[in-house]
């Protein structure tokens, strides 16, 4: 008997009616002879509602207390689902993270999972029970409740599936799979039946919001097969496979847009080796993720540096740069927080050349200004103005022939 982990997101459990539909879905899987562990998000809107309550009291609420508060949303959804299953004659048990020994570090609001004790879950499964676990939450060494960051139940599900050696981790959501691009940005987007794990990882980190990127990283590291599918309609969704060597006939599989980019520009940095080491150390200490980094020579002694961060840490990053400017010499500082990153992703880039050239010429022909370019093995990203997002995505989606055939 195989264990299947099924994760249901906020909209999938957004009302009692939806919770009853999820109960039916789980019963279907159980009746196919599987042992089912469901991992749930809070009912949609709940986490935001709780966050707003806290923010009305304090714009910067205590991180520990915020986690205590936010984690309560999942306690509601898991117990309601268990009630619905029990009413239907199935034995089910809802469990909080602490009850399954889901240990994290003590970074409140963005904790990382360290360990999961499977004893309780396995005992429940062996007794024929459906196990329902609160996603998004954990528990640190001192017994404090932690949360994994917004969207963290995906990671909970993958980590639980890995710990249980599940056959598959199914992420049920409100879309029926992973698309060639966001259908709201380009209506010709089409669903992908399979993508490689590497592509999914790049898509998540490049802005496709289907899965939390930590979840994808975790799944890849542990080779946990994933499937994204809809809890609103039937279908086999998108399977995330591990055939890294697969030779694709097409260079690009998807176009993604990452909305919230901010670029910081440092012009004329002397002593750059030392300054850059200091800068990126300080950014790392402040937990600021740096994405694109481009360094160019200005003169024999000086360089320019451009890098991007998430828009919501733009000011924090600016403060760090300004602080550094007090101790070292930088000629000028500037920035722009109205930018977006558009990426073309494809395993086929491993075997196709000229992808960057096609991409840049298509953007140029469309009159779209490109600020920064970065390339990776299976991804090419460009930084463009926020107002160019839609046209850039559409131009590239068409250029790489991703449009659904009519
Ligand atoms: N309920 C949490 C959130 O809204 C976690 C999740 O849904 O994955 O971010
Ligand atoms: Mg989510």
Angstrom distance (rounded) from CA 98 to CA 105: 13
Q: Which atom of ligand 1 is nearest to the CA of 153?
A: 8
What is the arithmetic mean of pLDDT over 207-224?
Answer: 84
Q: Which domains does the chain have, with CATH numbers?
A: 3-174 (3.40.1160.10), 255-404 (3.30.2130.10)
Of 9, 11, 135, 214, best ligand 1 pocket probe by most atoms within 8 Å of the beta carbon: 135
Phi then psi dihedrals of residue 145, to 5 deg: -80, 135
Residues with CB under 5 A from ligand 2 (ion): 9, 151
Q: Choose among 134, 128, 129: nearest CA to 100.
A: 134
What is the arithmetic mean of pLDDT over 307-335?
Answer: 92
Q: How far is the CA of 211 from the centre of ligand 2 (A)?
A: 6
Q: Which atom of ligand 1 is nearest to the CA of 154?
A: 8
Supply the residue whose CA is at minimum distance from atom 9 of ligand 1: 150
Q: Which atom of ligand 1 is nearest to the CA of 152?
A: 8
Angstrom distance (rounded) from CA 43 to CA 401: 38
CB atoms within 10 A of CB 187: 10
**Contact indicator for 314, 248 with CB cutoff of 8 Å:** no
CA distances from 30 to 1, 25, 128, 130 (A): 10, 9, 10, 8
Q: Which ligand is nearest to the CA of 213?
A: 2
- pLDDT confidence of residue 247: 60
- Express each pLDDT in 283-308 by its tens digit: 999 999 999 999 999 898 899 999 99
Q: Which atom of ligand 1 is nearest to the CA of 151?
A: 8
Q: Which ligand is nearest to the CA of 152?
A: 1
What is the arithmetic mean of pLDDT over 157-179?
Answer: 94
Q: Choose among 207, 264, 184, 250: nearest CA to 402.
A: 250
* 270-274 own/partner pairs: CB under 8 Å, 24+ apart: 270/301, 270/302, 270/328, 270/329, 271/328, 271/329, 272/302, 272/303, 272/305, 274/328
Residue whose structure tokens are 């460009």: 382
**Contact indicator for 372, 263 with CB cutoff of 8 Å:** yes
Q: Which atom of ligand 1 is nearest to the CA of 42?
A: 1
Supply the residue whose CA is at minimum distance from atom 8 of ligand 1: 151
- pLDDT confidence of residue 381: 95
Q: How far is the CA of 26 from the centre of ligand 1 (A)?
A: 20
Q: Which atom of ligand 1 is nearest to the CA of 148?
A: 5
Could you tell me the pTM of the whole model? 0.79
- Contact residues for 61 (Cβ-Cβ < 8 A; gap 6+): 54, 55, 69
Angstrom distance (rounded) from CA 82 to CA 346: 41
Task: Supply the DSSP string of 117-175, one letter for each residue.
Answer: --HHHHHHHHTTPEEEEE-SEEE-TTS-EEE--TTTHHHHHHHHHHHTT-SEEEEEESS
pLDDT confidence bin for 328, thresholds 50/70/90: confident
User: How are beta strands 290-297 and 303-310 bridged, if at all?
Assistant: antiparallel
Q: Which two tokens stand for residue 328?
A: 């070292």
- pLDDT confidence of residue 406: 46
In eight-state DSSP terms, residue 104 is E
Q: Which ligand is nearest to the CA of 42?
A: 1
Angstrom distance (rounded) from CA 12 to CA 18: 6
Pocket of ligand 1 (CB under 6 A): 9-10, 41-42, 47, 73, 135-136, 150-153
Q: How far is the CA of 151 from the centre of ligand 2 (A)?
A: 4
Q: How far is the CA of 51 from the centre of ligand 1 (A)?
A: 11
**Contact indicator for 389, 335 with CB cutoff of 8 Å:** no
- pLDDT confidence of residue 207: 65
- pLDDT confidence of residue 14: 97
Angstrom distance (rounded) from CA 124 to CA 85: 15
CB atoms within 10 A of CB 137: 28
Q: How far is the CA of 40 from the centre of ligand 1 (A)?
A: 9
List strands edge to edge, sheet with 137-139: 113-115, 103-104, 137-139, 145-147
**Contact indicator for 357, 152 with CB cutoff of 8 Å:** no
Q: How far is the CA of 172 from the centre of ligand 2 (A)?
A: 9
Percent of the chain with pLDDT over 90: 80
User: How are beta strands 303-310 and 254-269 bridged, if at all?
Assistant: antiparallel
What is the arithmetic mean of pLDDT over 116-136?
Answer: 98
- pLDDT confidence of residue 217: 87
- pLDDT confidence of residue 27: 98
Q: Strand, helix or coil at 64?
A: helix
The per-residue pLDDT of the chain, averaged, comes to 93
């Amino acid at each position: 008997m195989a264990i299947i982990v099924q994760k249901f997101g906020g909209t999938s459990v957004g009302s009692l009616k939806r919770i009853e539909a999820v109960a039916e879905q789980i019963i279907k899987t159980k009746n196919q002879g599987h042992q089912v562990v469901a991992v749930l998000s809070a009912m949609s809107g709940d986490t935001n509602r709780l966050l707003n309550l806290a923010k009305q009291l304090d714009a910067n609420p205590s991180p520990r207390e915020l986690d205590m508060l936010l984690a309560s949303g999942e306690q509601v959804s898991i117990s309601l689902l268990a009630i619905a299953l029990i009413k239907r004659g199935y034995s089910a048990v809802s469990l909080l993270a602490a009850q399954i020994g889901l240990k994290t570090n003590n970074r409140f609001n963005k904790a990382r999972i360290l360990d999961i004790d499977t004893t309780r879950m396995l005992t429940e499964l062996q007794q024929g029970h459906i196990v329902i676990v609160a996603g998004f939450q954990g528990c640190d060494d001192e017994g404090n409740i932690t949360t994994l960051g917004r969207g963290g139940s995906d990671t909970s599900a993958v980590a639980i599936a890995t710990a249980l050696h599940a056959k598959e981790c199914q992420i049920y959501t409100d879309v029926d799979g992973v698309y060639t691009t966001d259908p709201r940005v380009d209506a010709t987007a089409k669903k992908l039946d399979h993508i490689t794990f590497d592509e999914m990882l790049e898509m998540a980190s490049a802005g496709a919001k289907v899965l939390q990127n930590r979840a994808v990283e975790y799944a890849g590291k542990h080779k946990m097969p994933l499937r994204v599918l809809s809890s609103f309609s039937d279908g086999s969704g998108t399977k995330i496979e591990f055939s890294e060597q697969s030779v694709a006939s097409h260079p690009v599989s998807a176009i993604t847009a990452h909305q919230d980019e901010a670029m910081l520009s440092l012009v004329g940095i002397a002593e750059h080796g030392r300054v850059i080491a200091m800068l990126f150390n300080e950014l790392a200490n402040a937990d600021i993720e740096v994405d694109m980094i481009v360094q160019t020579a200005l003169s024999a002694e000086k360089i320019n540096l451009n890098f991007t961060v998430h828009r919501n840490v733009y000011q924090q990053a600016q403060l760090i740069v300004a602080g550094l400017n007090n101790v070292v010499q930088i000629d000028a500082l500037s920035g722009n927080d109205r930018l977006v990153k558009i990426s073309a992703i494809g395993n086929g880039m491993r075997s196709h050349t000229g992808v960057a050239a096609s991409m840049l010429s298509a953007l140029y022909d469309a009159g779209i200004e490109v600020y920064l370019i970065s390339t990776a093995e299976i991804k090419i990203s460009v930084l463009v103005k926020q107002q160019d997002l839609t046209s850039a995505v559409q131009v590239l989606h068409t250029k790489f022939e991703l449009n659904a055939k009519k």
